[in-house]
Amino acid sequence: MTVAGSVELRPDGLEPPEVVAVARADVPVSLGVEARAAMERAAAAVSALASSDEPAYGISTGFGSLALVRIPAERRVALQRALVRSHAAGIGAPVEREVVRGMMLLRARTLAMGYSGARPVVVETMLGLLGAGLTPVVPEHGSLGASGDLAPLAHCALALIGEGEVFDGSGRRRAAAEALAEAGIEPVELHAKEGLALINGTDGMLAMLILAIEDLRGLLRVADVATAMSVEALLGTDRAFAEDLIALRPQPGQAASAANLRALLAGSEIVASHRFGDPRVQDAYSLRCAPQVVGAARDTVEHAAAVAGAELRSAIDNPMVMPDGRVESCGNFHGVPVGLACDFLAIAAAEVGAIAERRTDRLLDATRSHGLPPFLADDPGVDSGLMLAHYSQAAIVAENRRLAAPASVDSLPTSAMQEDHVSMGWGAARKLRVAVLNLARVLAVELVCGARGLDLRAPLAAAAGTAAARAVVRERVGGPGPDRYVAPEVAASEELVRSGALLAAVEAEIGALA
């Protein structure tokens, strides 16, 4: 893996950190020597087949239900150009830059594996766009996730042939022909099968899955931090997180989350203050069962990561150009493995947000917060405190519950019933992106409330880990006091969560969390 300074396309695929680096950090990409050789072998096989009378899907025939239409040799280059133009039929707002960059990289990755029959110049042009910071304008709606992400990938391919639109490095929306010319990039004239090879993949949904996994791994550690702050502020116990108790149920995610809670709560004067003589036998589920819920989400992320890892080693196209020269149709482009993983992660994100909201509600309810003022207000009645921050959090949790409904079961047949079962994987990935962002916002609200709760437990000292979290929140969000404009403070907390600054501050104090 060469993610530090650059990424090289190889015949064996890519690793997730490489995808994230190219999508988000604009790390440069090159076509490796072995990949180039593999592409040249496959391109030669397609060229030979294109000049013969033997029918081959997408080379000498039409597409989808038009596969029975034979295309004469002199029209086969026009066939590829027409395919790209007709399939660039997306609708809606442009997809995010990082998603399009990841999608382009992953399509180049498949072509570089040497099973698609595209020439090296096709991949080199794709990498040229990435390197120049040119991002094709890809509308949000259009993919059913069956023959891959056809419409989104077609919009990317359209830019390669000098048509359609791109965003340039400064974010301006421009004609692709103009932007490519300015960058010194020659548009590609597509040869046999190359148009089809550019669009028949699961690369958009896979890019979104990989980015979501990266984000969720950080957010689930933030969830442990927020949990620990709420446990302290609510005078909860750390006994339920004991290693020997947790080991009785050997779920790996649960063990990791509980270990984080033990580290975060170690040395807490607040927890120690009621360790003996407390009449409560046990805490509410939202405190006591936190490692079980967040741990299950962790295990779900690792399942999804295994799916993504297999996809990153997969050649996704149709037909496939085999090493023995055969060109065979297959169903590897069907997006169901990725779609199911995205749906599963959306469920996990909804659950983690749901239990965080329950802890927030408990912090604000004077009948259950064990001595904290109603809504953590300075002068309850005159002041409403953080009441409405919780309302916003609850609204987001409700949205995530709706987003947890699976897209993958909602197949709609298309292409005159040739494509009679589709994955809806693109839709699953799109709603997952919203669910992940929503989770960050839910945790941001809990952090604001938890930090104020810890302040109100003074002079008892918080644990080193939770004190570090409170301190970094206090750099951007004021402490207890009369009512003030709340939205900017929640937004500041969200930025601490999404940027990684909160986690970095905590880990600098107590070491890396699991």
Enter the pTM of the model.
Answer: 0.95
Instruction: Report the distance separating Cα 198 and Cα 213, nearest Å.
Output: 25
Of 410, 407, 403, the C-alpha closest to 439 is 403
Partner residues linked to 70 by β-bridges: 61
| Peptide bond preceding 459 in cis form (omega within 30 of 0) | yes
Measured distance CA(214)–CA(177) in Å, rounded:
34
pLDDT value for 67 = 61
Distance, in Å, from the CA atom of 137 to the CA atom of 142, rounded to the nearest integer, reads: 13
Backbone region of residue 23 per phi and psi (left: phi > 0; alpha: psi in -120 to 50; beta: other values)? alpha
Please list the residue range(s) of the chain that carry CATH number 1.20.200.10: 208-314+348-510
Query: Could you count the other beta carbons within 10 Å of the beta carbon of residue 382?
Result: 9
pLDDT at 3: 56
Helix (H, G, I), strand (E, B) or coil at 485: coil
Q: What is the pLDDT of residues 464-498, one digit of tens each?
A: 999 999 999 999 999 999 999 999 999 999 999 99
Say which of 57, 115, 285, 485 is annotated catalytic: 57
Residues of the chain with CATH 1.10.275.10: 7-201
Q: Which superfamily does 208-314+348-510 belong to?
A: Fumarase/aspartase (Central domain) (1.20.200.10)
At 65, the amino acid letter reads S
Question: What are the residue ranges in the chain where pLDDT is below 50?
Answer: none
User: Is position 57 annotated as part of the catalytic site?
Assistant: yes
Whether the Cβ atoms of residue 195 and residue 111 lie closer than 8 Å to each other: no
Q: How far is CA 73 from CA 53, 429, 505, in A?
A: 9, 39, 64
Partnered with residue 321 across adjacent β-strands are 327
Q: Is the alpha carbon torsion for 492, 495, 497, 503 positive or negative?
A: negative
Whole-number Å distance between alpha carbons of 160 and 189:
9
What pLDDT does residue 327 have? 86
pLDDT of 65 reads 56
**Closest to 342 (Cα-Cα) out of 264, 424, 270, 252:** 424
Residues 233 and 371: their CA atoms lie apart, in Å, by 10
7-201 — its CATH code? 1.10.275.10
Please state the φ and ψ torsions of residue 421, each to the nearest 5 degrees. Answer: -150, 120
Q: Give the pLDDT confidence score for residue 407 in this predicted structure.
A: 93
Give exposure, 358-368, as e/b (b: 16+ Cβ within 10 Å). bbbbbbbeeee
Q: For residue 220, give both structure tokens.
A: 């689930």
